[in-house]
Amino acid sequence: MITINNYVRAESLEQAYDLNQKKSNRVLGGMMWMRLGKGRVHTAIDLSGLGLDTIEENEEEFKIGCMCTLRSLELHEGLNTYFQDALKESVHHIVGVQFRNGATVGGSVFGRFGFSDVLTVLLSLNSYVELYKGGIVPLHEFVHMERDNDLLVRVIVKKDNRQVRYLTERATATDFPVIACAVSRVENEWKVSVGARPMKAMLVTEKAELTCAEDAEAFAKRVADAFTYGTNMRGSKEYRKHLAEILIRRAVKSLMEEC
């Protein structure tokens, strides 16, 4: 259980950032993960009054506010039409609708969880995070940055005509994934993101001209070999690697059929 001494509904990002510099204070997302932890929070900083719960779309990009819920990703017509339902597919196994109405994109991405579907799918897209002090950083760099006291304000996803597929293997429908895999392509540039290894998602980018089933199989094997895997109660590292290769292959073949 966590105990919160004070609560502040921030009136500006500057105020939230200042408060967040104190180690014992914490920013709140949807609190779905945080509430399972232990400890005492001096001041909980709520960003819900700052208008950051919208998904904006223009010609070039989608801007997803940190307080958007996973449910809003799942239901957003523009995002899901543009990315062929990949975002919907990445979140719809997460617990249940009520849960997804609470958990936020900011908490999911800032947390950089080793099991994260959200991080896995976003990494396979041309995505950036907008940090209050740190500015705009490519998501694949943010994943490796040390956790600090900055605020994640938005996630930005570029419209670059990417085709994408998202696949996971789960022991039961709403459990954490045993492995998560997102593959995207623009012409012959491929991005493959594998998460729940059970480490946080990582990205491999390759230029490859894939024209037949044998090419797809060789590509999937080569890329699956490039990731490291671990063992936990959900599966061994050997099993995860085996699954990753299969899911990458299926996604690649499906994307090849698209062209």
Ligand X SMILES: Cc1cc2nc3c(=O)[nH]c(=O)nc-3n(C[C@H](O)[C@H](O)[C@H](O)COP(=O)(O)OP(=O)(O)OC[C@H]3O[C@@H](n4cnc5c(N)ncnc54)[C@H](O)[C@@H]3O)c2cc1C
| Count of positions on this chain that bind ligand X (CB under 6 A) | 29
Give the count of beta carbons closer than 10 Å to the beta carbon of residue 2: 14
By CB under 6 A, residue 19 contacts ligand X:
no
225: left (phi over 0), alpha (psi -120 to 50) or beta: alpha
Contact pick of 62, 82, 115, 229 for ligand X (by CB under 6 A)? 115
Residue 237 DSSP one-character state: H
Contact 72, 87 (CB under 8 A): no
In the complex, least distance from residue 207 CB atom to ligand X, rounded to whole angstroms? 29
Q: Determine whether 51 is exposed, middle or buried from the number of CB atoms within 10 Å of its CB (0-12, 13-18, 19+).
A: exposed
User: What whole-number distance in Å separates Cα of residue 190 and Cα of residue 256?
Assistant: 11
Span near ligand X by CB under 6 A; candidates 78-86, 101-109, 184-192, 222-230? 101-109
By CB under 6 A, residue 73 contacts ligand X:
no
In the complex, least distance from residue 177 CB atom to ligand X, rounded to whole angstroms? 6
**Interface mask toward ligand X for 20-59; x: CB under 6 A:** ------xxxxxxxxx-x----------x------------
Residue nearest to ligand X (CB): 107
Residue 232 DSSP one-character state: B
Give the count of beta carbons closer than 10 Å to the beta carbon of residue 78: 12
Omega before 198 within 30 of 0, i.e. cis: yes
User: What whole-number distance in Å separates Cα of residue 95 and Cα of residue 195?
Assistant: 18
By CB under 6 A, residue 117 contacts ligand X:
yes
The residue (of 150 and 219) whose beta carbon lies closer to ligand X is 150
The residue (of 70 and 181) whose beta carbon lies closer to ligand X is 70
Span near ligand X by CB under 6 A; candidates 81-89, 105-113, 182-190, 247-255? 105-113
Contact pick of 176, 190, 219, 229 for ligand X (by CB under 6 A)? 176
115: left (phi over 0), alpha (psi -120 to 50) or beta: alpha
Helix axes 237-258, 213-225, angle to 10 degrees: 140
In the complex, least distance from residue 193 CB atom to ligand X, rounded to whole angstroms? 13
In the complex, least distance from residue 31 CB atom to ligand X, rounded to whole angstroms? 4
Kindly list the residues in this chain that would bind ligand X in the complex (CB under 6 A).
Answer: 26-34, 36, 47, 66, 70, 94-95, 103-104, 106-108, 110-111, 115-118, 151-152, 176
